[in-house]
Amino acid sequence: MLNIMFSSLTRRLTKQPAVKHKRYLVSTAGLPNLGDEFITRAWLQYLARYEPESDIWLDCSNPSHASLLFKDIHPHLHVVNTLWQLVWNTQHLLHDSAAAAEQMKHWIDDAGTPREDLGIDLLRNVDSIHFLGGGYINQMWKANALLLTAAYQAKRRNPTLRLYATGLGLYPLEGIDKQLVSEALHIFDHASVRDKESAELTGIERLPDDAFLALADESWKDLEYPGRAFVCLQQDVVGKHPDAIRTITDSLLKSGISENEPLTIVEAIPPDDAWSAEQFENIWPSEVRVLPFTRLWNIGIPSNPDAVWISSRFHVHLLAAAAGAKGLALQFGNDYYNVKHQSLLDIGTGWDTLHIHDNVENMPHVATCNAQFTSIAARLSQQKMNEASLLYGSEQ
């Protein structure tokens, strides 16, 4: 009897070997672009904590940069661009989405793309494919709907394959491209979107943006960066707007920033986001400096709660507000960005908006905040952790 009891106790105390899966993640990481990189790192850190023995395959548009950005985060990380390369291989069918989808399905079923066949074979034999959050599948980049088509076809070939999508921004989306996305997502084991327009478009549950996964601790904050005035004025997607410079500086002054304080230009995409520094130098009386992407990445987001931020970028809005800062979200009359920023206003960042194209409203605005948003962000972070546990916790 004593031997039986000892044997039973030994089994309970002996650490069970970790289950090793093949996880396949898809994102737009590697440009680099702060928001996409931040989300990808959050999921890699999560998997490093809960599945350190699993093989992690990250499929992204620029594996070279991504390998540097995410080195040492997960011990079994491999970086490829198989799915992205397959999408690029359909560029000759850009104006015929239906034909492009049939071509993609054929490749996943029968290979026939000699340079990508090894990657396709891997894709068909992983345990899960997870499309990480972001606004990369919509009408602006319509070919990217084929990413979901490839996963759809892989699951049809291998029914045990689990498909996940979290925090996607799918608006705007229409016609055959909307049909392709809906067809694919219909067989996903789990899918969520981050804004109400995407939810209404697809009937998929709305949950927080994937960036909230990383906000459970303080590691994403830079508590040492000096200064209170921050501007992130992009040029990609919306173009350059030198006419906005004066309105931005006037809004900073109206929001309590002194002209004797330094002004920091935030480089979320290097070096593109630094384009406005010279423009601001011409009219801002004090120092104008650029906060490089490398510092944002290595140290974190400046988190002075007394700061004033003006940003056209969605994830800069999200992170600065979560740090407690006042801010203004720049609007360009662009549905894609308006929906993204509105999704943050809906959850209570408390920021005001500054409309660049509206001559009537193109006046200085006062930066605002919601004093409760740091608490809201913490709650949303826990909600995102629950979603992550739903995907990966059940298979342990």
Q: pLDDT tens across 290-307, in order?
A: 999 999 999 999 999 899
Backbone angles phi, psi at 166, to 5 degrees: -135, 135
pLDDT in tens, 66-88: 999 999 999 999 999 999 999 99
Instruction: Give the CA dihedral 183, 156, 137, 181, nearest 10 degrees.
Output: 0
**Confidence at residue 360, expressed as pLDDT on a 0 to 100 scale:** 43
Contact (Cβ atoms closer than 8 angstroms) between residue 137 and residue 181:
yes
**Confidence at residue 263, expressed as pLDDT on a 0 to 100 scale:** 98
Positive or negative, the CA dihedral 89, 93, 95, 99 is negative
Percent of the chain with pLDDT over 90: 86
- Domains of the chain in start order, with CATH, are 22-207 (3.40.50.11930), 221-374 (3.40.50)
What's the rounded Cα separation, in Å, for the pair 393 and 396? 6
Share the mean pLDDT of the chain: 93
**Confidence at residue 6, expressed as pLDDT on a 0 to 100 scale:** 39
**Confidence at residue 137, expressed as pLDDT on a 0 to 100 scale:** 98
**pLDDT band for position 362 (cuts 50, 70, 90):** low
Residue 2 has pLDDT above 70, yes or no: no
**pLDDT band for position 9 (cuts 50, 70, 90):** very low
Residue 42 has pLDDT above 60, yes or no: yes
**pLDDT band for position 1 (cuts 50, 70, 90):** very low
What's the rounded Cα separation, in Å, for the pair 170 and 64? 27
**Confidence at residue 7, expressed as pLDDT on a 0 to 100 scale:** 44
**Confidence at residue 334, expressed as pLDDT on a 0 to 100 scale:** 85
Average pLDDT value for residue range 133-159:
97
pLDDT in tens, 266-294: 999 999 999 999 999 999 999 999 999 99
